[in-house]
Amino acid sequence: MNIYGAPTVENPARIGSLAFLSTIDTRDRNTFPHNGLLFKGSYETASPSYGGDLDFRKTAIAGEGCLPLAERHTAIVNVTAGFGSGELPYQEQFGIGGADTLLGYPLLGYHRREFVGANLLGASVTYRWMLAEYHLKAVKALYLILSGGAANVWDNRDDMSPRDLRKGAGIGLHADTVIGPVRLDLGAGEDRRYLVYFSAGFDF
């Protein structure tokens, strides 16, 4: 039996850290953007001198470009990288898998945060087609999504290689609604893995 998720921690450690986050966002809208760029960079350093038990450092950078192909057609390119060192606990490690960014880098065809490690590389390309637009309060638009990506995590930075990236792809129907994005996706991973994802609301 395979169990996915965080392992049981008998003696949890305290983390005292300083973190810095920088964001540049030129997209025309936060939900289903049609054009613009998004860049995020973060750095976190933890030390016993900050009141915790662990000593580690963690850096992450991510970029997203939305390219309008036509009035209802958009291409989205996403790249990300993360680097960690020191005593990085499970909850601070980078994760991949799933259809959203809630707990890690999304990769269709795999369970959410199925793989974790101290270092991360990931990239994806998505095509989005607005099938219909509605002048309703509950539903604003309906989209067809085609996406393909590759990502992986490593414990040791010296082992990082594009040749080890795990591949995934999927197709989905997404709706822009009053409660946020509503998404239904079918993902395919390596070794003939197929998963269905459903979510409603924003990723926090």
Section 48-56 average pLDDT? 89
pLDDT, mean over the chain: 92
pLDDT band at 2 (very low <50, low <70, confident <90, very high): very low
Answer yes or no: is pLDDT of 13 > 90: no
pLDDT at 15: 87
Task: Give the pLDDT confidence of 162-173 residue by residue, as tens digits.
Answer: 999 999 999 999
Answer yes or no: is pLDDT of 145 > 60: yes
pLDDT at 6: 52
Task: Give the pLDDT confidence of 83-103 residue by residue, as tens digits.
Answer: 999 999 999 999 999 999 888
CB 166 within 8 Å of CB 110: yes
Cα-based angle 85, 204, 90 (whole degrees, multiple of 5): 30
Model pTM?
Answer: 0.87
pLDDT at 1: 39
Task: Report the distance separating Cα 192 and Cα 139, nearest Å.
Answer: 34
Answer yes or no: is pLDDT of 60 > 60: yes
pLDDT at 110: 97
Section 37-44 average pLDDT? 97
Structure tokens at 182: 């509503």
Secondary structure class of 13 (helix, strand, coil): coil
Phi, psi of 78 (to 5 degrees): -130, 135
Q: Give buried/exposed letters for 66-89 (b at 16+ CB in 10 A, else e).
A: beeeeeeebebebebbbbbeeebe
pLDDT band at 8 (very low <50, low <70, confident <90, very high): low
Cβ contacts of 196 within 8 Å, gap of 6 or more: 184, 185, 186, 187
pLDDT at 135: 82
Indicate the DSSP class of residue 62.
E
> May I ask the CATH class of domain 17-200?
mainly beta
Task: Report the distance separating Cα 156 and Cα 168, nearest Å.
Answer: 23
pLDDT at 53: 86
Q: Which of 83, 107, 88 is nearest to 96 (CA)?
A: 107
> CA Rg, the chain, in Å?
18
